[in-house]
Amino acid sequence: MAEVKTRFAPSPTGFLHIGGARTALFNWLYARHFGGTFVLRIEDTDAQRSTQESVDVILEGMKWLGLDWDEGPFYQSERRELYLAEIEKLLAHGKAYRCYCSREELDEKRTKAMDEGKKPKYDGTCRDRTSQAEDKSFTIRFRAPETGKTVVDDMIKGKVVFDNGELDDLIIARSDGSPTYNFVVVVDDATMGITHILRGDDHLNNTPRQIQLYDALGYTAPVFGHMPLILGQDKKRLSKRHGATSVMAYKDMGYLPEAMINFLARLGWSHGDQEIFSKEELIRLFDADNIGKSAGVFNEEKLLWLNAHYIKSRSNSAVAELFLPALKAEGYATQTPPPDAAGEAIKERAKTTLELEAMAKIFYSNEITIDEDAATKFITEDKIEMLSDFAEGLKSITPFTEESISAYMKSFVEERGIKMKNVGPPIRIALTGTMASPDLIKVIKLLGQVESATRIRNALKKTP
């Protein structure tokens, strides 16, 4: 295969959403798989809606996901002269023309066509006009072929055929002289040498028009692949009603970039039954042949499961790096216990970095907050003496290891003829303030004999 060159071309009118991130990922993976080039282009021709804030958020999201680009970012707003020059070429060769029809006239034509049961397309009033109206504003339309077919050889959908008679003469420049999306994207992709484009299938109807523009301008069209859109659990197009759709919102909720990359890759692409992929595996295995023809469903439970997997897969020190910055920012002293040891204790239970931070605070807080409902349920009057005895017995454990703590707890329940389920919850709440905490043996070991006993006694003092 000749050198592959793909691109991601977001409009800076908002955040980097889930669908856009998947598009970026698939184009990035395709380029990386073939050792090609990945281009980032910012489509900011909509001056009223485009903002620098949105540009910054998009770039931040790309960097967080690790989707590095080889060229760009290019900005369409800086390429206006190129677009206008290409429009002039089409006008000079009779492949475009000035249209003087007003908006009101176009609305009338559209209404009439619909009343007659026809497709509301432009009727070509100005297509063969020879005179220019000096005192009227005009748009510029592409002179599209009126007969024949335009064929899209789609990498995903296969051959898709469009009847040229169903397509009207596309406006390529507005009355204020600004070029339109379908035109500038063709000029950009052609002049940047883009060879392959993976995008959502909501763009499919634009593709025949764009192919016609490539032909008229004398360029070779890239290979297109149109992916099914991402749906929510209700099988409707993913939107804000399904929850967060911003990539960076998931970062703020405690998700890891490697989990998001893995999750996005599986939204519409597969490799057998494999679910877990490193980025290196994705680059090696990714191809357009395994992009599905049916829509991927956004399952947040699966994303959470993946996130928990990647937290567990990190080394203890790497886990510590996920919670230490937040704890230090809140003024916690994080020397004792060693952060690596805390990381080992909490990574099996935490599903997000926010949960990591909350669990880590158990070990570094001078005073914990006990969940009142949990305390009322588990630290009952009949357990006060038992808990006091347990705290006192902690002093006798030597050496103070996880093995000796486990042996102590086993003998403690056996001697009293009780079950661990009656001992564990009240001890856990006394030590951590909540039932959602790391392994109890590890908690006791990391807190130490004195602190563990002190927390249990303090919890008993607060019991009514």
Could you list the active site residues? 240
Sequence-distant (6+) residues with CB within 8 A of 74 are: 39, 40, 41, 42, 188, 192
- The four Cα atoms 229, 231, 236, 242 give a dihedral, to 10 degrees, of -130
Beta carbons of 264 and 282 less than 8 angstroms apart: no
What is the bridge-based pairing of β-strands 37-42 and 5-8?
Answer: parallel
Query: H-type helices in 66-218, by residue range?
Result: 80-92, 103-115, 181-191, 207-217
CA distance 270 to 259: 16
Peptide bond into 338 cis (omega under 30): no
Sole residue written with tokens 């927390």: 455
CA distance to 34, 157, 196, 223, per residue, from 1 (Å): 8, 21, 12, 13
- For tokens 């329940």, the residue is 413
CA 376, distance to chain mean position in Å, is: 41
Assigned token pair, 190: 């052609």
Residue 426: which residues within 8 A CB-CB, separation 6 or more? 378, 379, 380, 383, 386, 387
Tokens of 208: 């025949």
HSE of 268, CA atoms in CB hemisphere, 13 A: 29
Asked if 289 and 268 count as a contact pair (C-beta separation under 8 A), the reply is no
| CA–CA separation, 39 and 5 (whole Å) | 7
Please list, in sequence order, all residues whose beta carbon lies within 8 angstroms of the beta carbon of residue 148, skipping any fewer than 6 positions away.
164
Rounded CA-CA distance 406/439 in Å is 11
